[in-house]
Structure 1
Amino acid sequence: MKKVIYSLLVCFTVNAMVSCKSEAKKETPIKEEVKVENKAAFSLTEADNQINWTAYKTTEKAPVKGQFKKVNITAGGEGDTAKEAINNAEFSIPISSIFTKDTSRDFKIKKFFFGIMDKTELLSGKLVIENDSLGYANLTMNGITNKLPFKYTINGKVFNFSGEMKISDWGADKALASLNEACKDLHKGADGVSKTWDDVAINITSTFK
């Protein structure tokens, strides 16, 4: 009888120990893996991007300055250097974001210039860096994609692009004539001739954070 009781005690003790170990294992907290996102040193999406343009009116070629207040980076735009972030970056610019500090002028440009073009709710393109000072944008406007050559500089975290586009290279002669007609009196110079020039200067500055 004593042997039976002894055997039962041993079994009970072993079971209790196993049960405790099992419960202890269940109570051990599981460490969750924390995924660390590798952020690029230079990002166009997070940069301060300013897109300025200068058009010209009258025979004397008086400048009319404006800008686009919004640009979307649709592909690329990141890198270990500013040049890497710029090269092959794809973008789109809503025409609705045009701004010249004159609401009447903004309305006319949207309606009588861009509104005459084909599929031009957005300007879109891709930036290509060729060497340490030159590049081009494959710019799509009026349903036509064409190269817009530019010169650029990089000073620290500031990228600056300057180029000049001819409206006729994007088949937008009718749009230009439409705008000139809408602004006929405003585009007259001292000689009484109303003129809207075909060339537009483009200047883009991206300041990386």
Structure 2
Amino acid sequence: MKRLKFVALSMIMISAVSCKDTKKEAEVPTQEVETTATENTAPAEGTYTVINDSTKVSFTAYKTTDKVAVGGMFKEIKLTETVEGKTPLEALNGTKFSIPVASLFTNEVTGTRDPKILKFFFGTLKNTTNIEGEFKVAADKSCSIDVVFNGKTANIPMKYTNNGDTSASFDGVMNLENWDALGAVASINKACEALHTGKDGVSKTWSEVAVHADVAFNKI
């Protein structure tokens, strides 16, 4: 088995929260991420493996009713037992990963946001020292990730984009209600109530988190 540098997942997952001044962040429209697999040009068959320490993962959470985006990442993702495949997707299928929650990083200049997320979001959940997951590829080449979070396993469909013979990107949306985590969303919203209040006077933290990963492969 192997562990993929993801999510943003994990990551994912907590980016549903932010405590930065709304005025300094750009507003973005609501978008639904496609969940079907796509390939620009199918990579040639060969022997592929995931390059350790090369995968880049980011996530985007949203606040206020205007859906202001707040980005972040996890600085550490543990992979194990990397295997070979005839295609990049085959090399990813079955990959398992573990993300230390403490490696959360949102690059907020005052240094106050990350501790709030760890305390008021993750601190209200179960078994969140690590976020565990497994990458899956179906017979029709559609991709998804099983994520273990808050003591529950649920699936995130992913859009696959081939960026060349040895590079691919993946995008998905983690809906936190699928992991019974709406209580944690409410907790962080209360802790950041003023900073999550928009022009309409309503404080809101969205329960969806967009996840993106760029994966590089060795090809023999």
If the TM-score is normalised by the length of the shorter chain, which range does it land in?
Answer: 0.7 to 0.9
The number of equivalent residue pairs is 170
Match of 1:57 among 38, 41, 63: 63
Contact 1:180 1:196 (C-alpha < 8 Å) held by counterparts: yes
Which 5+ residue runs of structure 2 have no aligned equivalent?
A: 1-45
Sequence identity, in percent?
Answer: 40
1:206 aligned partner: 215
State the alpha-carbon separation in 2 of the partners of residues 78 and 190 from structure 1: 52
Which 5+ residue runs of structure 1 have no aligned equivalent?
A: 1-39
2:90 aligned partner: 84
Contact 1:184 1:194 (C-alpha < 8 Å) held by counterparts: yes
Alignment of 1:39-118 (within 5 A): 41-44=47-50, 46-102=52-108, 103-118=111-126
1:141–1:195 CA distance, 2 compared to 1 (3 A): same
Task: State the Cα distance separating 1:47 from its structure 2 match.
Answer: 4.7
1:129 aligned partner: 137
* 3-state DSSP of counterpart to 2:123: helix
State the alpha-carbon separation in 2 of the partners of residues 65 and 90 from structure 1: 24
**2:152 pairs with 1:144:** yes
* 3-state DSSP of counterpart to 2:69: strand
1:174 aligned partner: 183
Contact 1:133 1:151 (C-alpha < 8 Å) held by counterparts: no
* 3-state DSSP of counterpart to 1:165: strand
What code does the residue aligned with 1:179 have? I
TM-score with structure 2 setting the length: 0.72
Aligned-residue CA RMSD in angstroms? 1.8
Contact 1:48 1:207 (C-alpha < 8 Å) held by counterparts: yes
TM-score with structure 1 setting the length: 0.76
Match of 1:158 among 156, 167, 172: 167
State the alpha-carbon separation in 2 of the partners of residues 207 and 45 from structure 1: 6
**2:203 pairs with 1:197:** no
State the alpha-carbon separation in 1 of the partners of residues 54 and 140 from structure 2: 22
State the alpha-carbon separation in 2 of the partners of residues 185 and 77 from structure 1: 48
What code does the residue aligned with 2:95 have? A
